[in-house]
Amino acid sequence: MAPPVLPPEWWVLERYGEAFASRHIGVVIRAYRTDPRWRGVYGSAGISQSLVARWACMAQAHVSRTEAGPPEQHLDRLIAWAELLHMPQELLWFDLPERTRRVHRSPAGPGSPLPFSAAPAVPGASPGFGWFAGESAGTVVASVPDRVGLVEVEIIREMTETYRAIDNRHGGGRMRSLVVDFLASSVGGWLRADCPQRGVKDQLFVAAAGLSHLAGWSSYDVGDRDSGGRHLRQAHKLAMAAGDVALSAEMLAGMAHQAAHAWSGALAIDLAVSARDSARRSGVGVLVAEASAMAAHAYAVNRDRPASLAALTDAETTFSASEDAERPSWLAYFDRAYLAAKTGHVLAVLGDFEQAERAARDSLAMADGYDRGKMFNLSLLANILAAQGKIDEAADLAVKAVGLAADLASARSVSYLTSVAARLAPHRAHPGAAMALDRMRTAGISVNPQQS
């Protein structure tokens, strides 16, 4: 679900002139939400903060703070709000990126996908690193050292490997702040330093991209999708600056994944197609399969069943042909179980629960060390079974998933369980469902959610 694309003339009312003159993005958002013209679509109160929060992939409380708190000063966040709600440049007190201006000038109608193109890196230029230093209050930003070398590259790689293992086993909440602080306090300075050794700069960019990628996923895992997306975009810039086409494709695939789970189908399609194009240029078959799986999810969210099924077939065929081929170490996680989980998600979105069940069962054959992923896949299968009325097994799996989630610091885990609870809630008269719902309630999971 995404905000409607509005024509420029929508914004000419006096209410918007006063809102933009305040230079407070929260005032503009409130004026937008409460515009009387929304009443016929969203009811007498206009657009709720909760709906805006869903569009922005954040908590409703964050929207409330943005509206009621002091004016937002962070340029990246101002741009994100302007892009989300399609605000015209001529009314803003800050500059939008040129790509966004082209989107606003284009004759695209409602629901049209936002163009996404990865601009090639300029030789010798460094991508911007402001996001590393500005995310968390109180972060100490290190000074730029005189020079860096392979030692710093190895430090980043080792830190990334260590923190990724913690993330996979215990959730993003266990290490996210450590990663973000390390990016701001050390890596940001290293990226600006001189690298006298040939080739070290590119290696440094690639290593930093990997760590920023991890920061993006750990942020997403704790429910901070705004920061998650920004870290992935920063990682993409770094990969492009280093000329690593495969790694840049991985970042685009990650952005497509997050957009699809936010039900932003058009944007997810654009990102997934860009990821697949880059993956094909890289020659890494498994990466092409991953991007195709992301495209399948995006098309499913956008209700394009034929395109979704075609992309799923492409993902399976490509993976089978390249499963044993050499791949980058950072792509080791994408195995047959991961592809099966993605397939189950896609088929569930399409409503093919019988086929989705088979895929979800296959997804349980996971490698060790992915405790959070196992919890996700148990929840996925429980959700699919409950959708078919197979309550006994669904309830048993839900209880197992609750047990695994107990030690996870992961907002996504809560979201998965909340979705399962929504499926089981209509069957609360069933003893198994009642027991599972009681376990969820005890674990702090809402057991009376609305099934989306």
Q: DSSP readout, 351-396? A: T-HHHHHHHHHHTT-PPTT-HHHHHHHHHHHHHHHHHTT-HHHHHH
Same domain, residue pair 100 and 143: no
Let me know if residue 121 belongs to a domain. no
Which pLDDT does position 128 carry in this prediction? 42
Same domain, residue pair 24 and 100: yes
Task: Say how many domains are in the chain.
Answer: 2
Same domain, residue pair 45 and 141: no
Let me know if residue 265 belongs to a domain. no
Last residue of a domain, one of 84, 105, 126: 105
Which pLDDT does position 59 carry in this prediction? 80
Let me know if residue 443 belongs to a domain. no
Which pLDDT does position 256 carry in this prediction? 93
Q: Which domain, by its residues, includes 46? A: 8-105
The tokens for 6 are 């509005």
Same domain, residue pair 153 and 226: yes
Same domain, residue pair 140 and 239: yes
State the burial class of residue 298 (Cβ atoms within 10 Å of its Cβ: 0-12, 13-18, 19+). Answer: buried
What pairs with residue 147 in β-bridges? Answer: 194
Which pLDDT does position 116 carry in this prediction? 24
Contacts of 294 by beta carbon, 8 Å cutoff, 6+ apart: 253, 256, 257, 260, 268, 271, 272, 275, 276, 342
Same domain, residue pair 152 and 91: no
Same domain, residue pair 146 and 88: no
Quote the CA–CA distance of 58 and 76 in Å, as a whole number: 15
Quote the CA–CA distance of 83 and 197 in Å, as a whole number: 40
Same domain, residue pair 23 and 71: yes
Residue 176: Cβ within 10 Å count:
27
Quote the CA–CA distance of 95 and 74 in Å, as a whole number: 13
Same domain, residue pair 167 and 220: yes
Same domain, residue pair 215 and 161: yes
pTM: 0.70
Quote the CA–CA distance of 295 and 425 in Å, as a whole number: 32
Last residue of a domain, one of 215, 243, 271: 243
Let me know if residue 266 belongs to a domain. no
Same domain, residue pair 98 and 160: no
Evaluated on CA atoms 168, 171, 177, 178, the torsion sign reads: negative
Same domain, residue pair 231 and 151: yes
Last residue of a domain, one of 194, 227, 243: 243
pLDDT string in tens for the chain (452-residue length): 578 877 766 776 767 878 888 999 999 999 999 988 888 778 888 899 988 988 887 788 889 999 999 999 888 889 989 988 988 888 899 888 865 444 444 333 333 222 222 222 223 334 444 445 445 434 445 556 777 889 999 999 999 999 999 999 999 999 999 999 999 888 988 888 887 676 888 999 999 999 999 999 999 999 998 889 889 988 988 998 888 999 999 999 999 999 999 888 888 998 999 999 999 999 999 999 999 999 999 999 999 999 999 999 999 999 999 998 889 999 999 999 999 999 999 999 999 999 999 999 999 999 888 999 999 999 999 999 999 999 999 999 999 999 999 989 999 999 999 999 999 999 999 999 999 999 999 999 988 755 44
